[in-house]
Structure 1
Amino acid sequence: MVSQLALRTVLFAFATTVLTAAAPALAEDSPENEQTRYREAHRAISRKDWVAARDLLLPLWADSPTYDVASSLALVEYQLGDYPMAARHLAFALEHVAPVEKPETVQRMRSGMLELRGRVGGLRLTANAPTAVVSLNGQVVAASLLGRELFVAPGRHTIEARAAGVAPARQVLDVMPGQTYTVELDLRPAVTPAGSAPARLAEPSALQSDRPEERAWWPVVIGGALTATGLGLAVGFGVAANDAESEWRSRQAGISPSGCLERATSLECVRLRGAIERQHSAATWANVGVGVSALSVAATAAYLLLWPSQPPRVAPALAVNAHSAELGLSGSF
């Protein structure tokens, strides 16, 4: 194998010849802007600004895939270390070289191609299903390239083929430099269990989300029930609290001016303290009822005004004792 310096010499000599010989040909048949970009790429190559040259040549290649642009790209990509792409473009240049090109120039191109083959591997990919989609390392291979030699870096590569109604085929290959491999992917009919219908593709989720969701009314019913329950608690225990308050005030009025001491055990004092505690307890539950009603009304109204994409989830939290109460509702509405 020729050394890297020899290969670089061959490619540079070949590309220099092509650039000087092919530029007029491009200038005759191409728009002025393409001529300008091609000349700018020449200047970038002359000053060995390989990245700038590639940035100029790639759009030109997309617009005018000619052998002279391909040969220029081959040189630039070799200098940048992208040997598979250099081989691809140089192979294109050889296949489409102009008949008027000098024989020595074509010979230099062939020598450069021979040296590049020592750095890359080749793949010829085919599939037995006409509609198969073949991919190389996850990238779809154009149908026009199937059966043609593809240049890849040495190493492990994954080739897959898929088609409707058949089982996919997959092959993993370790590619050696200088070798060309032919890979034939065998797609076979998918096995369907007896008595089962072929699987159907699911509709895209975006289509399902376009259908309006029907309103669920159970949150409104629950909110109404909680509101009624809260009002019942508020009214019932409010009345009980008022009765208890009237009782202890009446008993307090009948006790001597000295009143009841904290630990007095007389019957009237015991009854007085019992009435006060009943009033406090009933008032607490009445407040709970008011809170339940208020929160239920607010949650139901929010649900009706802000129709959610998902049914609301409510988790009530209630803590009550004889002297205080706490009520909370958490969740999404």
Structure 2
Amino acid sequence: MEALIREAEAALDRLDIARARDLWAQIYAIERSTVGICQLGQLDRRLGRWVDAAEELTRCVREMRAPATPTERRLHDTRHADLATARQQVAEIRVFAPAGAAPVLVGGRLVDESGSIFVAPGQHEVEAMLPGGRRARATVHVSAGESRAVLLSPEPADPRPVAPPQARPAGATARPAEPTAPWLLYAGSAASGAFLVSGIALHVVASLEDSALRDEMCKADWEETEAARRVMHAINVKQHISTVALVAGSALGAATLAVAMLPRGAQVRASASGAEVRFSW
């Protein structure tokens, strides 16, 4: 690996940035070090590969230890400045997918949806696979320096065949369908709205706090402290709670809509292995 490092430094001395980047990628594949990810981020920034540079420099700044010497301080400041430059050239999205969705693709590229995702400015297709083969999708358009939340909506389920109505003896009077109780619709709608509003509000608050914290991290004199770690933890908790609230509100709203559209006494039949189960409401 030392030979690769010497060759990478020689390539950088002769300003062969692409060759130096390829060599540092090989070095990082052998040993995933902080020095390696910082070098990749700095080289990708010089090559104009802004999305890769933003991801790598974010990890670089997160992993760097607090500077102890003037030389380390200058390097620390340089890496923060590089990250600030890269973040101005890309956009950030945070994906909220239904429970159980995996993996998440942005423009066909597999990403880690556990945090912010850096993308090039423009329009992007975001999708995730749901259990059962369905997909959840959304389209988002972002500008450079912008941060957006993306809520994935599941595709509608395939229509299922409806069982023919049962034969009624001649002369029998058909029983009119009973309407759904209004209080049930009002309660379901109110609860769904409460979940959605609280989830959106909590997400907005978490996003603002996250942006403020990232701005602080980009400052040259920023140092990671116990208080900063507690703030990061609190932001993550709020983001998780907001995701749960959004999913719960969407599910409750869909259930309320289904109850409103089907009259009381309607039956849904499902059969498996020759057995038939009937659900009535």
> TM-score category by the smaller chain?
0.5 to 0.7
Q: Which residue of 1 aligns with 2:141?
A: 174
**Partners of 1:159 and 1:197 in 2: how far apart?**
33
Structure 1 segments unaligned to the other structure (5+ residues)? 1-33, 199-333
Q: Which residue of 1 aligns with 2:116?
A: 149
The alpha carbon displacement at 1:192 in A equals 4.4
Q: Equivalent residue of 2:99, what SS?
A: coil
* Cα pair 2:137 2:154 within 8 Å, conserved: no
Say whether 1:129 aligns with 2:99.
yes
The total of aligned residue pairs comes to 163
* Cα pair 1:122 1:152 within 8 Å, conserved: yes
**Partners of 1:189 and 1:63 in 2: how far apart?**
45
The alpha carbon displacement at 1:177 in A equals 0.2
Say whether 1:95 aligns with 2:62.
yes
Q: Which residue of 2 aligns with 1:316?
A: none
Q: Which residue of 1 aligns with 2:75?
A: 105
Identity rate, percent: 27
Q: Which residue of 1 aligns with 2:88?
A: 118
| 1:54 counterpart letter in structure 2 | R
The alpha carbon displacement at 1:107 in A equals 2.2
Q: Equivalent residue of 1:156, what SS?
A: strand
The alpha carbon displacement at 1:170 in A equals 1.4
**Partners of 1:132 and 1:93 in 2: how far apart?**
27
* Cα pair 2:34 2:64 within 8 Å, conserved: yes
The alpha carbon displacement at 1:96 in A equals 0.8
RMSD: 2.6
Higher relative contact order (CA 8 A, sep 6+): 2
* Cα pair 2:138 2:153 within 8 Å, conserved: no
Q: Which residue of 2 aligns with 1:60?
A: 27
**Partners of 1:47 and 1:94 in 2: how far apart?**
27
| 1:139 counterpart letter in structure 2 | R
Aligned ranges for residues 230-249 of structure 1 at < 5 Å?
none
Q: 1:85 aligns with which of 52, 55, 58?
A: 52
Q: 1:184 aligns with which of 141, 151, 165?
A: 151
Say whether 1:72 aligns with 2:39.
yes
Aligned ranges for residues 1-333 of structure 1 at < 5 Å?
34-99=1-66, 102-141=72-111, 145-165=112-132, 167-187=134-154, 190=157, 192-193=159-160, 194-195=162-163
| 1:153 counterpart letter in structure 2 | A
| TM-score between both structures, scaled by the size of structure 2 | 0.52
The alpha carbon displacement at 1:61 in A equals 1.8
The alpha carbon displacement at 1:39 in A equals 2.4
| TM-score between both structures, scaled by the size of structure 1 | 0.44
The alpha carbon displacement at 1:99 in A equals 4.0
The alpha carbon displacement at 1:36 in A equals 2.1
Q: Equivalent residue of 1:151, what SS?
A: strand
* Cα pair 1:129 1:187 within 8 Å, conserved: no
Q: Equivalent residue of 2:96, what SS?
A: strand
